[in-house]
Chain A
Amino acid sequence: MILMLRRIFSLMIKEFRTLLTDKKSRMVLIVPPVAQLIVFGYAASFELNHINYVVFNEDRGVESRKLLSGFAGSDVFVRYGTIGHNAEIAPLLDTTKALMVLHIGQQFSEDLHRGRPAPLQIIIDGRNSNTAMLALNYVREIVLSFNENWTRRHGGARAPAVLMQRSWFNATLDSHWFIIVGIVALLNLVVTLEVTALSVAREREAGTFDQLLVTPMTPFEVLVGKSLPGLIIGALEGTFIITLIVLWFHVPLRGSIPALYLGLFIFLLSAIGIGLMISSLSVTQQQGLMGAFLFMVPAVILSGFATPIENMPQFVQTLTYLNPMRYFLIIVRSVFLQGASFDLLWSQYWPMLLIGLVNLSVAAVLFRKRMY
């Protein structure tokens, strides 16, 4: 037993040495995750805070100017310019200089005063449909508040009912939080796969895998020895990222930290299992890298990291149950934002654990096959 532990320990030390002695490979494990967290933390957001618009106002009345002052006073809209002809719209939108054109017709003020609905025409670049929809929502907010003011000043029927909107867990609906917290899962997956996916292929290319075969180590011991570095590096890096999210980005960590770490541990296990499986299947490092890639890209896309799983077709939704990142994303987000603890998360732990155990066993079998 002690011998076994010692053997595992020395393999682990050796793995760490291969990863950390070379200055360049040490750098790629440490610098990019930090840089990425900072860059992506600021970049990855669906928020719009810089909507360029152009005014095409044919109305000479006061009311159109009042409406436009609503846009000028908003901090998401930036006035790019003013035009006087229909023909000027296309070049502006085509070249993405402006996202939208506010067109106010000649009759605008007159319509308003006569009590007819006055049209405000929005011509918007729909190339990015999400941006277009969000921008239109902002426009509606401004028009809604103009309408309410107008009705209050000029009389008219009040609505018999009112909508009161609230949001839980993220009162200002800041989408940064959602994405930043998700980055814990993203970067941990990347780092763990990087560490494990090439580890066997590298030995095979260098010919040292054959040397490993003649040592008294059992496949199980090799597996553990090769897993531990990934687990330790992942745990350290995870802790670091979580600390940075709380202290630098000021995202509230409302739930139970042990529940978060249990999730991280199981997630790392499953990622290591996948990495080792890829590694033992591949003969060259290039193949190992491609394999890691072929797994990682769909795993990120189908995890719910940027786009909701519920929007996917049923078949793809079923596929996502095989993706450990799906479960871990729910765990980090629930613990951070929703204040969840163990009781709400069991349904996420066990499938991830199952995936991890299956992958690790397959990796062990593959080791044995290649060893004997």
Chain B
Amino acid sequence: MRGLIRKESLQIIRDPSSIGIAFFLPVMLLLLFGYGVSLDARDVAIALVVEQPGPETSSLISGFYRSEYFAPRVMFSIQQAERAMMERRVDGIVWLRSDFARQLRSGGRAPVAVIVNGVDANKARLLQGYVNGVWLQWLSRTSAELGRPLHIPIKVEQRIWYNPAVRSRNYLVPGLIAVIMTLIGAMLTSMVVAREWERGTMEALLVTPVRVKEILLGKIVPYFILGMGGMLLSVVMAIFLFHVPLRGSLAALTLASALFMLTAIAMGLLISTAAGTQFVAGQVAIVITFLPAFILSGFVFDIGSMPIGIQWVTHLVPARYFVAIVQTIFLAGDVWPIFFVNCGWLALMAAVFFVIIRKKSHKRLRI
């Protein structure tokens, strides 16, 4: 038993690529995501088409220049702006026609056209929201200046809990930890059993007195330690480099991570046992770990808004439970109902995986 763990550990140490994936990958990904990925648009390029400049138009335009969300460019014809949009140089157009000032003064509901590039619909939505913000500020000021102050019947007051500055990094980084841990756990282990079969060393192992349980345990322990190391590194980076607040307890985080790591490793071993060859194991690992963890875990895309059939599918993605736990522990604290429900699912998945692995390995050993 100890010998097996030693052998597996040696194999990890001698092949630097698995150590690489356990430590280099979290660091690289967290850096890329933390610094590189944000859903908060800043400095969106927009074209401001001013057909006839005047004091009214310049007050609206300066509103756009002051806003941190826009990088405006003034143009003088709509054709020029439309061409810029086709060539993807701007993402939106604000069009003030030549009679804008006249209509404004005469109280004739001066129209301002806003055209957004809908190819990236999410960004277009956010852009519309930002334009609205600038617009409403300008409107209430201008109405007051014109002597007809705007009456606002209902005013929306927002309190954003857990993430008052609405930093997308605060939820992307914890979610990313879950994605990375899926990769590490499942990817690293997915090939280990297949490798033994392909190289013929599994048969050598079979003639020794070790039992199936011991072989499996010997494979789990080193990768578990490796994965927890990567986890620790990611958490440290999240807190100290990206300043994501950790409001829950470290104990809860550790417990959930350990449970998740076991599930991920179990998934990897299952792939490995079922696949037979390293090629197939590798493909399957890519297909059922990275992309589902990225898309179906609720890490970026909201699960509640998916069609009901797909929501069922997400229950098969272990990362889904871990994303919920990690985002909550980081941003909201130890919320026990969330913690226990999701941990329960993880434990169930791990148990099912291990039972299947036991059955599969057993049969093979008897052949």
Contacts and interface: CB of A to CB of B under 8 A. Distances in A.
Interface of A: 22, 24-25, 28-29, 32, 36, 39-40, 42-52, 67, 93-96, 112, 115, 117-134, 136-137, 139-140, 143, 146-147, 150-151, 156-171, 173-175, 177-178, 186, 190, 194, 198, 202, 205, 282, 284-294, 296-298, 300-302, 306-308, 310-313, 316, 330, 333-334, 337-338, 344
Contacts of A131: 302
Contacts of A46: 121-122, 125, 301-302
A319 B44 CA distance: 20
A313 to B, nearest CB: 6
Interface in B112-154: 112-126, 128-129, 131-132, 135, 139, 142-143, 146, 148-154
Contacts of B232: none
Contacts of B33: 301
Contacts of B65: none
B282 A117 contact: no
Contact of B295 (A43, A48, A344): A43
Given A24-B280, A93-B161, A302-B36, A164 B43 contact: no
B279 to A, nearest CB: 6
18 contacts: A24-B276, A28-B287, A36-B287, A94-B328, A95-B338, A118-B153, A129-B40, A136-B156, A151-B151, A157-B143, A160-B104, A163-B135, A175-B120, A290-B21, A308-B41, A311-B37, A312-B36, A338-B86
Nearest to B307: A42
B35 A313 contact: yes
Nearest to B280: A24
Nearest to B145: A160
A48 B162 CA distance: 20
B62 to A, nearest CB: 16
Contacts of A289: 187, 191, 278, 282, 285-286
Given A160-B142, A307-B300, A312-B38, 5 more contacts: A32-B288, A163-B135, A164-B112, A166-B115, A344-B87
B206 interface: no
Contacts of B198: 205
A174 B305 CA distance: 13
A22 B335 CA distance: 48
Contact of A122 (B128, B156, B162): B156
Q: Count chain B CB atoms within 10 A of each CB in A151, A294, A296 and give the residue with the most.
A: A294
B200 interface: no
The 5 A-B pairs with the shortest beta carbon distances in the complex, nearest first, are A170-B118, A126-B163, A175-B121, A167-B118, A126-B160
A68 to B, nearest CB: 12
A43 B310 contact: yes
Contacts of B121: 46, 167, 170, 173-175, 177-178
Interface in B161-187: 161-164, 166-168, 170-171, 183, 187
Contacts of B300: 130, 306-307
B278 A127 contact: no
B279 A168 contact: no
B119 A123 contact: no
Contacts of A290: 17-18, 20-21, 187
Nearest to A99: B304
B36 A50 contact: no
Nearest to B132: A163
A186 B287 CA distance: 12
B158 A124 contact: yes
Contacts of A333: 119-120
A127 to B, nearest CB: 5
Interface stretch (B24-32, B213-221, B259-267, B351-359): B24-32
B337 interface: yes
A267 to B, nearest CB: 18
B302 A133 contact: no
Interface in B27-60: 28-29, 32-33, 35-45
A121 B156 CA distance: 6
A156 B143 CA distance: 12
Q: Most chain-B CB neighbours within 10 Å: which of A40, A96, A159?
A: A159
B364 interface: no
Given A127-B171, A167-B115, A146 B153 contact: yes
Given A39-B296, A39-B310, A127-B171, A297 B29 contact: yes
Contact of B39 (A94, A198, A298, A307): A307
A39 B313 contact: yes
Nearest to A128: B171
B43 A310 contact: yes
A31 to B, nearest CB: 9
A139 B156 contact: yes
Given A121-B157, A140-B156, A156-B151, A168 B118 contact: yes
Contacts of A301: 29, 32-33, 36-37
Contacts of A143: 154, 156
Contacts of A132: 160, 163, 166
Contacts of A39: 296, 310, 313
Contact of A161 (B24, B39, B109, B171): B109
Nearest to B284: A28
A40 B131 CA distance: 31
B332 A44 contact: no
A190 B324 CA distance: 27
A252 B326 CA distance: 39
A297 to B, nearest CB: 6
Interface in B77-122: 85-88, 100, 103-104, 107, 109-122
Contacts of A150: 153-154
Contact of A126 (B15, B88, B161): B161
A204 to B, nearest CB: 13
